[in-house]
Amino acid sequence: MRLSALLLLLVSALVPLGAQALDYRSLSDNTQVFDAGSKQANAQFILLKGTPVELIVTLDRWAKVREAGGGIGWVERSLLSERRQLIVTAVTADVRQSAAADAPVVFTASKDLLLEPVDKPAGSWVKVKHRDGRTGFIELKAVWGS
């Protein structure tokens, strides 16, 4: 009986982990991404200021993150910003006046353009703001970081 109770407790403790939403942050400055949580580790690549990253785990002063292309590594935790950004992953994507495929196009976003989400995603669209102030709706399948 004790073994089955322990097993049930372990399984119930793991269930919420799979149900958690992904946690995205943006980088507050250009930063090197390391293969371990230490400045003595090997630098793998550089991410630019504003780049959205998925937060995988945090340990002390370091955070393990994933970027839009799938690269995983460690960054200094102090470089993570609460400010959210989305990055365009499609070659080009139309930003429209409303959340509809037939709505007029406000502007066309190119791959790797950073956009600020204005609202939470609704259905398959999210309202975004360009750094020049223009706003509109973009399909979620065209961006990463939401």
The tens digit of pLDDT for each residue in 69-121 reads: 999 999 999 999 988 999 999 999 999 999 999 999 999 999 999 999 999 99
CB 135 within 8 A of CB 106: yes
C-alpha to C-alpha distance for 144 and 87, rounded to whole angstroms: 5
Instruction: Give the containing element (helix H, strand E) for 45.
Output: strand 43-47
Percent of the chain with pLDDT over 90: 82
Domains of the chain: 22-81 (2.30.30.40), 86-144 (2.30.30.40)
- In this predicted model, which residue has the larger pLDDT, 13 or 44? 44
The pLDDT of residue 62 is above 80: yes
- In this predicted model, which residue has the larger pLDDT, 146 or 131? 131
Neighbours of 44 (CB within 10 A): 14
- In this predicted model, which residue has the larger pLDDT, 71 or 5? 71
CB 75 within 8 A of CB 55: no
C-alpha to C-alpha distance for 59 and 37, rounded to whole angstroms: 8
- In this predicted model, which residue has the larger pLDDT, 48 or 1? 48
C-alpha to C-alpha distance for 19 and 96, rounded to whole angstroms: 32
The pLDDT of residue 1 is above 90: no
Report angle CA 129, 132, 133 to the nearest 5 degrees: 45
Per-residue pLDDT at 5 = 42
Per-residue pLDDT at 10 = 42
Per-residue pLDDT at 118 = 96
For the whole prediction, is pTM greater than 0.75? yes
Per-residue pLDDT at 6 = 41
What 70-74 contacts at long range (C-beta under 8 Å, 24+ apart), as own/partner pairs, is 71/33, 71/44, 71/45, 73/33, 73/34, 73/35, 73/44, 73/45, 74/33, 74/34, 74/35, 74/36, 74/37, 74/38, 74/41
Question: Average pLDDT for residues 40-69, to the nearest whole number?
Answer: 96
What residues contact 50, with CB distance under 8 A and at least 6 apart? 26, 27, 85, 114
Question: Average pLDDT for residues 49-68, to the nearest whole number?
Answer: 96
